[in-house]
Structure 1
C-alpha cells in the first residue's frame, strides 16, 4: 500500500527544492547531517521533511521559530498529502498538540524541541530533526543546534540532523554540525545542499518619508511615519497589481496601519503571532478579492502569503535588547538589516515580477547593517543560562554554539537564577530550577507563577503570568486594565485564555496555600509582577509621577496614567530611550509596602552610612529595599575610619580650600613644598594629591572633632602641616628655607616661596654691598632677586648678583638716575 508521503514524493509540486532532494538524501545517508541552503519560497519547509521521512525510521521533527509558522507549515504539508492535520503530519506548540502514533512529520516550535531534549536527550522514536530558518539566529535555534550536535556526539550518532538556512551562514552551520571544530562526530563540515532561487525580478521603489517625519522617537514608531506607510500602501495599490504585503515591526503598528487603510475596496488583513488562529488563516489564505496583508516579521521568511506581488516595507524590526546595568530587558524597534530587507522584498517575486516599496531612501539603505545581530548578543540570557544548567553545561563550554554568549550578560543571568533558587552558586541546576524550566516561560515568570499561586491561587496567578508572557503594553501603563480587557475577550483574549489554562495546569497540585482573600485584584496583579521582577519594585519620589526602582533605576509614568498617585508600583515593563535619564513605564500594577517587602525581601538591607553631605559629616543607620531608602536614624558613634573616609571624600570633592588657609599656613606649605623639591626625602610632599592621600597623618588629632565645615575652619593648619615633618629634620627648616633674610640695609624682608623658585623682592639700593646672590636649601638653589626702583617698580631680575653688578647695573643705574635724580646711585655698588 502506497503511503501519502510516497505519493507526494512520486509527484511533488513544482518547487525549486525538488532539484536538491536526491543530493540531500545521499548526504544524510552518508554523513547523517546536512545543511540545506535555499532562499525563502523555494519549498524547503514543504518537501525536505517528507523526503527525510521516506528514508529514516521514526518521526521527523521540524522546528519553526514561531507558532504561527508551525501551524501554517503543518497545514500546507497536510493539504499536499490530502489529509487533515493530525494524521501523517501534525504539530505541537506550547499548550497544543495535534499528533497521533501514526504521525511521521511533526512541526514544532524550537522551544518545544528544547523541552523534549531536556526531558529525553536521546529523543526516543525520533529519526531526524530539521532545524528550519537557522539564519534568523534566535537564541533557541542556536541552542537547539548545539544540543543536537552534543546528542549526536555522545548519545545517538544515528540521529539525522538537517539545518536549513536562507543565508551564506550555511557554511558556518555546516562547520558546527559536521563536528569540524571538534564538537561533534566526524572531522569534516556537514554537506551543504544548495538550491537556487526561483524569484522573479523585483523592482525597488524608494519612498522616503516627508521631511521632519522621523520613523522613530523615544516612544517608538511615530504616528506621522505610520501615516506615511499607509499612504505608500495606497500608492502601491494604485500603481501595481496583485496582493500587497506590508511589513511593520509589531502588533500595535499592524493595528494602526490596518485602521489607516479603512475604506479601501480590498480586504485588509492583519497578521501577527498573537491573533487567533482563525484570523491568521484569513490572512494566509488567498481570497476572491484583492488583499492587503499587514504583517510583522512573521511573514519575512518562515511563512508564505500566497498572491503577493507587492511588498511595502516600513524598514523596521522589533528585536530584544537588554540594559544589564539597569536591569531592563524587552523588545525595541530598530532599523531592519539589508539582508532582512532583501528577504522581505523577495516576497513580491515568488509568483511573478514584483515590486518592493521601501519607506526609506536609497542613501539610508546603504547605511543599514548588512545582517541582523544574532539574538544571543543582545537578548536577556536568563532562560538560555537555565537551559545550559539543566543540560549540565553551566557556561556552554564544549557546546557547538554559533557565537559564545557575552560574559557580562551570562554573569547577570546566572546571578538572577541564583536569586530565584534555580541554580546553585557553582552553576548546577537545583530541583526548583528544573521545576521552573518545565513551566515553559521566562524563569522569572515561572517563579512568580509558583510563588504567587500559594498566595492568590493558581488561577489568578496564571492569568497575570499569561498576560506578562504575551508582552502586552497597557494604555497608560495600567496592567490591571489590560487584564480586564483580555478577560472581556479583547483582541488577544483567545491566546491569553489558552495560555492561562496551560499555566494553571503547570502549577503542582497539593501545595500549601495561604489565605490572602484581603488582596484586591489590583494588589494581586502587583504581587505577581513584583515576584517576577523584584528589582523593578518601585516607590514614588516626592511629588509628581517619578519612581525609583529597587535596582536604582528611575522611571516615569506616561502622561495621564491612571497609576499616578500610587506610592508603590510593581513595574512589568519599562524602557529607557537614548538621551533619557529615566525609563518610561510601559506596564505596571499597584503595590503596597508590605507586599513590596515580601516580594523583594532579598533586597532588604540595613546599612550604616557615614558620608560628607552638604558641608558636614552625615552619620546615620538606614534600612533600604535595594536603592529605596525606607527609614533612617542618627548614628551617634560612627567608626573613626569611616569619619576619616567621609572627610577625605569631602575634601577631594570640594577641595582643600575647606581648611582655613591663612597666610601663615600658605607660607609654611610653600616652604615645605620648596624643600621637598630641592632636597627630596624625608621632606614631605604637600601637594593636594599627597595631602589627601595622607590625611589621617597630618589631620589625625583633629579628625575626632570634625563634623562640619565650621569645625574644619577651627583647624590649626600650620600645626597640622608640621606633623608631616620628621623630627630629625624639623629643626633645619629655617636653615634650608628661612621665612626672612637679612639684607645690607638692615631689614629682614620675607621670601616668597609660592613659585617654582624662591623670590626676594627688594629695592636696588637695599642690596648695595651684597657681592653674591644668597642661596637656600644648603646652597642648592639661588634666591631669585626682584630688584625694584624706589617706587617699588621692577627694575631688574637676577639670580646671579655678581654678574648683574658687572654687566647689568650700569644700564639700570643710568635709567634710575634719570627717573630718580634725588636718590644716590653710586657707580660702585659695594662702596655704599
Structure 2
C-alpha cells in the first residue's frame, strides 16, 4: 500500500479492508457494502493485489470499466496497461505485468465460457451488483459453479453501495457482509416537483413539459448552489433536448451516455476549468466520480428493457427510477464535499417508488442467457444460483429461438454451432446472421452489417439499413468510430472465433486493423466471388438475424411480418413502397395494433424465403372464413401467405370440420328452421329442464358437441354454407328423441303442441319461457276453474280480449275468476258489447263466437 498516492490512503473503505480480507480467507466470498465515494471500486482491488492476488473487477458498463482502470492506475502513479489494465468489447489495454484488470460483465462471461477455471485469477469482484443486470447475475451464478466444482480457492466479492445484502449473502452460501461506513458528506434533499400536470412516461415518450421543468431546475441549482451540476435523464434523446434548453446558461454543458464518444466521456471525468452542467443517463450512477459536482438534479426517470415474447419484439421503456437508484444518484453530490440533490417529484411520491430496479432477468429477452446456460451445461438454468429464477414463458420463447437457428438440439443441449455462437459475444440472432451471412456476402460486409445491428444507429441516420451502412462508412462521429471498431472485432472473430479477448502479446496493445484488414476473409461472396450489392447484403443479413420480422407490404406503408404482427413505416420513409422488408428494429407501443419500424432493409421474395425457411410451410387449407367454406392450397412464410390457389377437390373430412367450425361460430341458425322445427326444439328444451334424462339438451353448445348424433348423414354430404341451409333442423332433431327407452312416443303427451280448452278450440302452447304459455280469449275458458298443467308445471294463461289483446295473466284461474274477473269485466264489456260478460263465469257457457246480448 506504500506505493499508493496519499489520496488513496484516506479513502474510507480502508477501514473495512481487514474484515474483507478475513472474510475471503475464511469463507472464500463476501458481500461488500460501501457508500459512494468510499473507494470500494478503486482501493479494494489494489489492496487485494498488494497481497499477491491477481484481481478481475467486473463493471456493468464500458465507461465505468475504463474510468475505474484509469483511476486505479493514477493512484499507483502509473499508466493504464501497466499494473492496472482494462478490457471492454473491442478494446484491450493490458500487459504481462497487469495484476488488476477491469472488464465488463459481458467480457467476463465470455472468458468464463472459454476458460471456466479462470486460470491465473485469484479474486473476482462483481461491482455495482445492485443494478441487477442480467450479465452480472449470470456471471455470479457461473462463478459459484466454478467455486463449487473446479476452483474452491477462487474468491468472490459482490460489491455495491445500495443492494439487497442479505439476498446476496444467501446466494453466496452464507457469505459474510462487510460494511464500510465511510465519511460521506451530507447531501441536502430539495423537493422540486413540476408546478403543473405532467403526463407520465409512456414507452420511450417523456412529456416535454417535464424536460422543460428539469432544465428550469438546473438553472435554479446553478443560481442557488456552488459547484458543478450533474443532471440525470433517462436517455440520449432527453439529454439532447435538455441540452438545447440550456444553451444560454453560463456554464459548459456536457453530455454523457453510452453512445457518447470516448473523448467526451473522458472530458466529463476530468476536472473542468469553469462551471459545468453534466447531463447523464444512469451510466453516471455508479463507479464514476465526476469531479467538481456539488449538485444533482434528478428527473426521477430511468430506462429498462421490455420484451414482447409472443411477437419477438424488444424495446426500452421509460419507468420511474427506484429508491435505490435515487440514493445512488444523490450520493454523486456528496462525494467530494457537502452537496444537494434536487428531486423533480414530491416527497409523497418518493415513498411509492419501487425499492430496487426490476431485475433484468424478469423483463428482458433471454435468448442470450439461455444460450449461455446451455453452453454451460444447464439448458433449463435450473441448477444455477440466481437471485431470481428466469420466467418460464420467457425461457420457452428463448429456447424456441435457439432451436430455430440451430444453436440447441431438441433436448435443449448446445450444438457445436451454438457453442461457436456463444463465443462470438453477440446476441444469438446476430451470431446466426454473422455465421450464415458471411458465406453469402463476405466476412467483412457481414461483420459490418451485424455491427450496425448490435448497437442501434442514431435516429438521424434514418430507417433504411443500407443507407445507414453507407452513412456509417462516411461518418466521422462517435457512432461511426464504435461501429468500425466492432466490425473489425467481428471480422477477426470469423477468422478465429476462439481468439475471444485473449491478452495480446505486447503491453498496452489495442485492437487494430479494420474491415478488410489483412487476415480477414474479405471477399464480396463465398471464396472471394462477387457477391450481392450492399442493399441486398444488408437485407440478407438483417433477415438472417430476424427471420420472424421479414415483412410483406400491404400498401400505404403497412406491412405484415412473418410473426403475424403488423408493422408501419413513418410517413416520410423512403421504404414505404417496398414489396418486402427485413425489419431490424421495431417497437410496439402498448396501445398500438402495429409495430413501428425503426430500421429495415429492402429484400426480395427469394431472400425472405431463404432467411426464414424454417417458417415456410405449404399445404391444403379448408376452413370457415367470411361465412362459408374456403378451400385453398396455401404456401405460408409464417403468417404471410405467399402462394394461394383454389382447391378444387378438398378432403371431405376437412370440409366437414370447416362446416362444424362454421356452426360453432355462427350457431345452428345456419340450418333451415321452420316454425315447427323451432317449436320442437323449445318443447324438448322444456322437457330436458323439467324432467331431465332421457330428454336431450338441445342448447347450441350441447348440439354442437355431438353433431354426429343428429346431423348425419346430411352434414357429411354438405360442401358449403348453402348445403347447411337445406338441412331440415326439425327432422334432424327428432334423431335425438329417446327412442330407445320408448319415451319418444310420449312427446305429445308430456309436451303437447296444443291444448283443448272448454270452447272446443285447440290452442297452441308456447314453450319459450320458464312456464308454458297458453294465450286464449277469455270467453273460451268460461267454466274452467283449474289451471292446466304440462309435465307438472302450471301453464301461464294469457287471457285475451275479443280483439286478441292481453287482458290478464294468471297461473291460478280459480283465483282470477274470484278476484280479478270483475275488474276485467267492468273495463271491457262496454268496449265489446256483443260478447258475453256474465256475472258468474263459472256457470257460463264457453264460446269462441260473438253472442248478441239479451
TM-score clears 0.5:
yes
2:552 matches 1:539: yes
Q: Which residue is equivalent to 1:626?
A: 638
Which structure has more relative contact order (CA 8 Å, sep 6+)? It is 2
Q: Which residue of 2 aligns with 1:678?
A: 690
Q: Is the 8 A contact 1:456 1:516 kept in 2?
A: no
Are residues 1:240 and 2:221 paired? Answer: no
Question: Which residue of 1 is the match for residue 533 of structure 2?
Answer: 520
Q: Distance in 1 between matches of 2:162 and 2:204?
A: 33
**Whole-angstrom CA distance in 1 between matches of 2:127 and 2:655:** 64
Query: In the alignment, does 2:133 pair up with 1:121?
Result: no
Compare 498-507 and 223-232 and name the one that shifted more: 223-232
- For the pair 1:501 / 2:480, whether they are aligned, the reply is no
State how far apart, in whole Å, the 2-side matches of 1:353 and 1:294 are.
20
d(CA) in 2 for partners of 1:396 and 1:504?
Answer: 31
CA distance in 1, matches of 2:812, 2:214: 84
* Residues 569-588 of structure 1 aligned to structure 2 (within 5 Å): 569-588=581-600
1:487 maps onto 2:498 in alignment: no
- Aligned partners of 1:503 and 1:86: how far apart in 2? 23
Q: What is the correspondence of 1:15-26 to structure 2 with a 5 Å cutoff?
A: 15-26=11-22
**TM-score between both structures, scaled by the size of structure 1:** 0.92
2:86 pairs with one of 91, 116, 133: 91
Measured in 1, the distance between the counterparts of 2:20 and 2:347 equals 39
Aligned to 2:367: 382
Match of 1:401? Answer: 386
Correspondence 1:305 to 2:290: yes
**Mapped partners of 2:7, 2:808: distance in 1:** 111
Instruction: Check whether the contact 2:562–2:637 (CA below 8 A) recurs between aligned residues.
Output: yes
CA change 1:307–1:826 in 2 (3 A) is: closer
Tell me if the contact between 2:659 and 2:720 (Cα under 8 Å) persists in the aligned partners: no
Query: What do residues 454-497 of structure 1 show as CA deviations (whole Å, max 9, x unaligned)?
Result: 01101111111111111224444222232222212233111111
1:280-291 superposed matches below 5 A: 280-291=265-276
How far, CA to CA, are the matches of 1:226 and 1:507 in structure 2? Answer: 44
CA distance in 1, matches of 2:841, 2:611: 95
In 2, Cα distance between equivalents of 1:790 and 1:216: 71
Structure 2: distance between partners of 1:810 and 1:384: 87
Superposed, which structure 2 residues align to 1:598-747 within 5 Å? 598-704=610-716, 706=718, 709-727=721-739, 728-747=742-761
TM-score, length basis structure 2: 0.90
Residue in structure 2 matching 1:36, options 21, 32, 36: 32
CA distance in 2, matches of 1:256, 1:767: 88
Q: What corresponds to 2:410 in structure 1?
A: 425
Deviations 1:597-647 (A, max 9, x none): 110111111143323222211121211110111121122333344334433
Match status 1:443 vs 2:428: yes
What's the secondary structure of 1:732's corresponding residue?
Answer: helix
CA distance in 2 between counterparts of 1:335 and 1:613 reads 46
Deviations 1:78-97 (A, max 9, x none): 11111111111111122322
2:681–2:698 Cα contact (<8 Å) kept: yes
Q: Distance in 2 between matches of 1:555 and 1:547?
A: 5
Q: For 1:44, what is the secondary structure of its paired residue?
A: coil
Q: Is the contact between residue 25 and residue 55 of structure 1 (CA under 8 Å) also seen in structure 2?
A: no
CA contact (8 A) 1:616 1:707 kept: no
CA distance in 2, matches of 1:10, 1:811: 112
How far does the alpha carbon of each residue in 1:537-583 deviate from its partner, in whole angstroms, 9 at most, with x for none? 11111x21111111111111123112221111111111112311111
Mapped to 2, the partners of 1:255 and 1:743 lie a distance apart of 90
Distance 1:750 1:52, change over 3 A: same
**Gapped regions of structure 2 (runs ≥ 5):** 497-519, 846-854
Return the offset for 1:749: 2.1
Deviation of 1:822 after TM superposition, in Å, equals 5.1
For 2:529 and 2:674, locate their aligned partners in 1 and report how far apart those are by CA, in whole Å.
Answer: 68
Alpha-carbon distance, 1:259 to partner: 4.1
Question: For residue 842 of structure 2, what is the aligned residue in structure 1?
Answer: 829
CA 1:828–1:440: 2 relative to 1, 3 Å = closer
User: How many matched pairs?
Assistant: 814
Give the distance between the partners of 2:821 and 2:296, measured in 1 at CA: 94
Q: Determine the structure 2 residue equivalent to 1:142.
A: 137
Q: Is the 2:204–2:318 Cα contact (8 Å) retained in structure 1?
A: no
Distance between the aligned counterparts of 2:799 and 2:237, measured in 1? 84
Output aligned runs, 1:199-598, within 5 Å.
Answer: 199-209=184-194, 211=196, 214=199, 216-217=201-202, 220-475=205-460, 476-488=462-474, 489-508=476-495, 513=526, 517=530, 519-541=532-554, 543-598=555-610
Distance apart, 1:800 and its partner CA: 5.1
Equivalent-residue separation in structure 2 for 1:221 and 1:480 (angstroms)? 30
Quick one: distance in 2 between partners of 1:370 and 1:157? 34
| 1:821, distance to aligned residue in structure 2 (A) | 5.9
> Which region of structure 1 is more displaced relative to structure 2, 272-281 or 258-267?
258-267
1:27 to 2, 23, 30: 23
Corresponding residue for residue 70 of structure 1: 65
Matches within 5 A, 1:160-199: 160-177=155-172, 179=173, 189-199=174-184
CA distance in 2, matches of 1:803, 1:364: 70
Residues 462 and 503, structure 1, Cα contact 8 Å, conserved in 2: yes
For 2:241 and 2:6, locate their aligned partners in 1 and report how far apart those are by CA, in whole Å. Answer: 46
Residue 355 (structure 1) shift: 2.2
Q: Is the contact between residue 294 and residue 338 of structure 2 (CA under 8 Å) also seen in structure 1?
A: yes
CA positional deviation for 1:535: 0.8
- Specify the alignment match of 2:781 in structure 1: 767
* Corresponding position of 2:503: none
Which of 750, 767, 775 is the equivalent residue of 2:764? 750
Q: Which moved more, 1:443-452 or 1:45-54?
A: 45-54
State whether residues 5 and 77 of structure 2, in contact with CA within 8 Å, keep that contact through their aligned partners in structure 1. no
CA distance in structure 2 between the partners assigned to 1:44 and 1:335 by the alignment: 27
Residue 336 of structure 1, CA deviation: 1.5
SS in 1 for 2:489: helix
SS at match of 1:330: strand
Deviates more, 1:383-392 or 1:324-333: 324-333
Distance 1:230 1:514, change over 3 A: farther
Distance (whole Å) between structure 1 residues aligned to residue 203 and residue 6 of structure 2: 56
Conservation of the 8 A alpha-carbon contact between 1:315 and 1:341: yes
Distance in 2 of aligned mates of 1:286 and 1:706: 85
> How far 1:62 sits from its partner (Å)?
0.9
Which is further off, 10-19 or 444-453? 10-19
Q: CA RMSD in A?
A: 2.7
Counterpart CA distance in 2 for 1:553 and 1:105 is 49
1:13 aligns with 2:13: no
- Contact 1:9 1:51 (8 Å CA) reproduced: no
What secondary structure sits across from 2:75 in the alignment?
Answer: helix
Cα distance between partner residues in 2 of 1:24 and 1:621 = 71
SS of residue in 2 equivalent to 1:84:
coil
Between 135-144 and 682-691, the greater mean CA deviation after superposition: 682-691
The structural deviation recorded for 1:42 is 1.1
Determine helix, strand or coil for the equivalent of 2:767: coil
Measured in 1, the distance between the counterparts of 2:339 and 2:276 equals 15
CA contact (8 A) 1:474 1:481 kept: no
